[in-house]
Structure 1
């Protein structure tokens, strides 16, 4: 049998039910020709959470827990520039940027957000050649029709909007990331400039890896869209990603929601997830819509900031890993 295929999730305890759905969804698609290692990177998961996730182990699917310590994250400060969607601070979004250094035993790995559901074999994605590219990722189609985000990507992040990738699903060239000192360069930029971002981990990846990204087919990161774009639904998604506010445990009739609930009913969290949906009130849904508008308003403002990735590049700072 070939070397194990490592698949990373980075979670906090409150996101464990969604990680369980993600892992459960994978199980029908794994091949007996491969060994899979699910590595859950976390800070302080409760024992009951570990037991629930560990129960998803199968003969060729191993589940491993790795607790990341504060020493690795000391540079990640709770400041507004590091907020996700200009809304809240969650250090777990940055874990993926440290994985290549934390796991030198792997030369290549898959990283997946926990708000995802598999509908295909991860081995197919893992087999995609990266050569000397740093990552493989799909363009972020969740924002392609959102004018403020398109302007932000072009004029603040400084990459063409059509090339802006979503960081929720990554095929990562750990060997090349280590050779190019990716983590050290990220920390240098973060600590020196504190660039205000909409999606900090994602925006750093976009600018630092620009020109060295293997673009994945959208079927490996199919994201729900509003009803008016229903015609753009991916016909045969291999991996569904409930990005931004399109969560089937918060809203009804989310595109691709059937995949989530099919897997959810098989997890130890089945009833809890149904309760979450039942108790997510119209007022809560309206607050999500308001948060989305707040994010877009912030995206409109950011290109005028004195420090942006685009301005740093225009001034000659080495942001991209050439």
Structure 2
């Protein structure tokens, strides 16, 4: 049995992905078979070589460059997916995995800003039943009331069931049978609404009612509210809590321990040293920008919640 693990990145995220891959390989069971597939739109040969070298034992790394034809519906809707400057086109790649890889009935997807502290097979072996995906609550927004308001009043979803899309177990077979990608493209191209977390919002909307909630230890996130989890299986440095930008980030020790095993360790330490106080304030301002955007979207008569009520959208 092969365990497929997908990442999606742009070239500038290579050092962080190398850290995640290193931790993934370190905790892989030598008796199991793992295939890592990196979806991208152009990785330099040097970076591909560096990431390939992160594989060891029965963990192999391969690459898939996404073509322009597949991505055209996204690229033609710039106003619909790049509302915030901390998102890039690559956030949507994960949504195409079931169709691009029909050989897999089930797959793991991980964001590049993760560190894996346990055998990922434990996540992969989770029983999905008829659920389309399994994921964890988004702890980076759970305690921020304006973002809870956004989920409830701008998306028309239950905040208690809203999940983070950076760590997913995907029921690829069921997603193909349900026409998940077609539904996503139909929503994207038919309705124009502002969004704070584009890929995540679409995923939560389309999969609503068929999401299995995972143990939170599979997507532990630094925030200013929760105590640090004692034994996280996976740490996700979501949004602005990046240990290569801020010292003292919760769970940072896991990142730097894994980073030491990569050729990018000194580069990452230098990035932290060079990140100025002005840079840090700019990063923190992005969070406030998200909060401010909620106010705008909530007043928008064409926000997704209003559209769903008026048009009676069916998926």
Pairwise TM-score range, normalised by the shorter structure:
over 0.9
**Residues 220-231 of structure 1: matches in 2 within 5 Å?**
220-226=218-224, 229-231=225-227
User: What is the 5 A alignment of 1:139-288?
Assistant: 139-226=137-224, 229-231=225-227, 233-288=228-283
Which runs of structure 1 show a deviation greater than 6 angstroms over 4 or more consecutive aligned residues? none
For the 8 Å contact 2:22–2:55, the answer to whether it is kept is: no
Alpha-carbon shift at residue 93 of structure 1 (Å): 0.2
Distance 1:23 1:74, change over 3 A: same
Residue 9 (structure 1) aligned with residue 7 (structure 2): yes
Q: TM-score, normalised by structure 1?
A: 0.95
Deviations 1:24-62 (A, max 9, x none): 011221112310011000011000000100111212001
Classify the secondary structure of the residue corresponding to 1:36.
Answer: strand
Is the partner of 2:46 in helix, strand or coil? Answer: helix
Query: Does the 8 Å CA contact 1:154/1:160 hold for their aligned counterparts?
Result: yes
Question: How far did residue 124 of structure 1 move?
Answer: 0.4
Distance in 1 (alpha carbons) for counterparts of 2:85 and 2:167: 22
| 1:309 partnered with 2:304 | yes
What's the offset of the Cα at 1:88?
A: 4.8
Match of 1:100 in 2: 98
Cα shift readout 1:286-320 (whole Å, capped 9, x = no counterpart): 0011111111100222122222232233235335x
Gaps of 5+ in 1: none
The superposition leaves residues 267-287 of structure 1 with CA deviations (integer Å, 9 ceiling, x where unpaired) of 011111111101000000000
Question: Distance between the aligned counterparts of 1:67 and 1:293, measured in 2?
Answer: 34
Query: Per-residue deviation at 1:230?
Result: 4.6
Matched, 1:43 2:38: no
- The separation in 2 between residues aligned to 1:306 and 1:110, in whole angstroms, is 37
Residue 144 (structure 1) shift:
1.2
TM (norm. structure 2) is 0.97
Aligned-partner Cα distance in 2 for 1:83–1:239: 28
1:316–1:130 CA distance, 2 compared to 1 (3 A)? farther
C-alpha separation in 2, matches of 1:225 and 1:254: 9
Aligned to 2:114: 116
Contact 1:224 1:241 in 2 (8 A): yes
- Is the aligned partner of 1:138 residue 2:136? yes
* Cα distance in 2, alignment partners of residues 110 and 317 from structure 1: 33
Q: In structure 2, what is the Cα distance between the partners aligned to 1:306 and 1:87?
A: 23
* 1:56-81 C-alpha deviation (Å, 9 max, x unpaired): 12120010111111111001136233
Given candidates 298, 301, 306, the residue that maps to 2:293 is 298
Distance 1:33 1:127 in 2: 15
1:80 and 2:79 are equivalent in the alignment: yes
Secondary structure of the equivalent of 2:212?
Answer: strand
**Once the two structures are superposed, what CA deviation does each residue of 1:187-233 show, in whole Å capped at 9, x if it has no partner?**
0110011221001000001111110000001100000011xx253x2
How far apart in 2 are the matches of 1:92 and 1:69? 12
Equivalent pairs, count = 314
C-alpha distance in 1, partners of 2:93/2:221?
22
3-state SS in 2 of match to 1:37: strand
Distance in 2 of aligned mates of 1:311 and 1:137 = 27
C-alpha root-mean-square deviation of aligned residues, in Å? 1.3
| 3-state SS of 2:25 partner | helix
Tell me the secondary structure at the aligned position of residue 267 of structure 1: coil
Q: Call closer, same or farther: CA 1:180–1:230 in 2, change over 3 Å.
A: closer
- Distance in 2 between the 1:219 and 1:89 partners? 25
- Secondary structure at the aligned position of 1:75 is classed as helix
